[in-house]
Amino acid sequence: MAIPAPAPHNAPIRVMVVEDSIMMRSAIRKILGDDPEIDLAATANNGQEALDKLANQNFDVVILDIEMPIMDGLTALPKIVKVSPGIQVIISSALTMKGAAISLEALSLGAADYITKPNAAMGADVFGQYLKAKIKSLGRAAIARKQQKKQFVGSPRLVSIQKSFQAQCLAIGSSTGGPQALPILLRALGPQTSYPIFITQHMPPAFTAILAEHLEQASGMPTREGKDGEEVAPGRIYVAPGNFHMLIEQKSGNRVIRLSQDAPENFCRPAVDPMLRSLANTYKGKVLTVILTGMGHDGTAGMKILSEQGGLAIAQDEQSSVVWGMPGALVQAGLASAILPLQNIAAQAQKYLPGGRP
């Protein structure tokens, strides 16, 4: 049977839930059932059943469990993205070190995003809010690409670059799609010993520790979660730990990491805005910021403060972003000095970093 044509751009987002737990399937059905923007079109008990349904049905988003009988999620994932190009897969996993490692592996195999199952730290209500937000953001992008009607307003371009600008550090903010984009950017930048790199990626605890390990392998640079009171050193990468804002403060002539559990900003902790505000205080305008793919607008408010002090920002372009929320907000606010595909960002950034190529 032929796969039906994609739905119109304004149609509900068609979702398939692949989950062997009856309780979890019922919970998701309850969460999504009253939202007119989402059509829970099918459920499957395992990866093989999901593939069978993909053979004759069209979906925009798949919510994929990992541990299932017959065919588990990691085995099914590459088959799903091969059978249905452009489909957006959200991995559903437990908030554990094992769950974090598996989720990051899934992202490297083609998943667009992940969500942690309800737990003591995140109840069913919060889980539902996050799940619907992810489905809508990824689903709309998937539908637009299938219809080939997306206008890439964030097409590559240089807006305004100060030729004499020289940064003392690099700040990176990312969310959805970030775990896939960060290794590419850092690998292209290459190892160096001249400046520190600060990264805030929207992620829960456990996940950020695993992410730091992956980024160290990609960059060839010492990479760890930031520790409270740790002195900042050049040639190191500091990743904001899950559930903490990472700030950089001045102390006795040195710059040090401060971790904060102040209220979430932009519904996130860690968030990019607090990091950028702190960098504005400690580095003034000597900060180059890169805002990568992600939902929402985190980073725009902080970059406004940095920009007023002479700091510059590069935004990932729309076409190479999984979700053009955070970089798009930066562009729309007129704060991006360059809008570039992911693969071109490093070369541009190196022009304004110590020891970089002119």
Q: Which residues are catalytic?
A: 175, 202, 298
Backbone dihedral angles phi then psi of residue 238, each to the nearest 5 degrees: -115, 125
Residues 139, 133: Cα–Cα separation, whole Å: 10
Assign 90 to helix, strand or coil: strand
Q: Give the whole-angstrom CA distance, residue 308 versus residue 329.
A: 17
How do beta strands 197-201 and 113-116 pair? Answer: unpaired
CA distance 147 to 78: 23
CA distances from 342 to 77, 159, 203, 317, 346 (A): 24, 16, 20, 7, 8
Selection from 275, 278, 257 nearest residue 266 by Cα: 275
Report the relative pairing of strands 245-251 and 254-260 from DSSP bridges. Answer: antiparallel
> Which H or E element spans position 237?
strand 237-239
CB neighbour class for 1 (10 Å; exposed up to 12, middle 13-18, buried from 19): exposed
